[in-house]
Amino acid sequence: MTIKVSVIGATGRMGKLALDVIKGAQDLELHSALDSKSELSMAIGADVIFEATKLDVSREVVAFAIENKLNILVATSGWSENDREELNADSAVVFVPNFSVGSVLGSKFAAIAAKHFDSIEIIETHHAGKIDSPSGTAIRTAELIAESRAEANLIQPLIPGVGQEARGEVVSGVPIHSLRLDGVSAKQEVVLGGASELLTITHEVGSVQAYALGILHSIRYAAANKGLTVGLDKVLGI
């Protein structure tokens, strides 16, 4: 069965990569490629919408997909956990903050380690053109850390530095520090401090090509499932 995919945000970095993924997969077919001047109605008839835009546009596209019972794969960062939980869809709504398999594994490793450390912080670095901060990946990592600690009946990581203003944004009890620099694509470090020891879990991406396999798996998943799914880990069953 061929999966017809509509790409919204087709002129952006992730949109262009999605077009390449679709072109290279025998079971995928491009239904339509939409940019900022296109009408969303052009996506009707697709089996899956791949959406990579900006947060305000993303909200509009997701609402459109739900209203028209279209499966959608959301690549746009910035959606909060509360925002996602408020969605009520019969079709598939799949949020993937990061399509890198290595990044997903790094976040999983951090969640496992979080049960053994109370002092945890995240440093995420992206290219200077990335608008949102913290990144969707860092937010998801913080959420996974909090979930893991909650399952173990542990308090959330302690937030040190009372009175220190430069502690980053706190997400699910975990401070996240965001850097936006030239010369880097994407990098995340989860730093866990314990008694006389420090554990750092680092993942770095050199180009968008690292996301191609995750996009392919996620499109296929969105075509075959229903309801809300968050994270490439759920897509891959990790």
Which listed residue (31, 126, 177, 203) is catalytic?
126
Q: What is the DSSP letter of 193?
A: E
Neighbours of 172 (CB within 10 A): 19
SS3 144: helix
Which listed residue (4, 16, 108, 130) is catalytic?
130
Contact 4, 47 (CB under 8 A): yes
- Catalytic annotation present for 130: yes
Within 92-173, strands assigned E span 92-95, 119-127, 169-171
- Listed residue (39, 21, 37, 41) closest to 29, CA to CA: 21
SS3 68: coil
- Listed residue (139, 202, 199, 201) closest to 174, CA to CA: 139
Contact 202, 188 (CB under 8 A): yes
The CA distance from 32 to 38, in Å, is 10
Neighbours of 37 (CB within 10 A): 6
- Catalytic annotation present for 127: no
**Could you tell me which residues are beta bridge partners of residue 7?**
33, 50
Hey, which residues are catalytic here? 126, 130
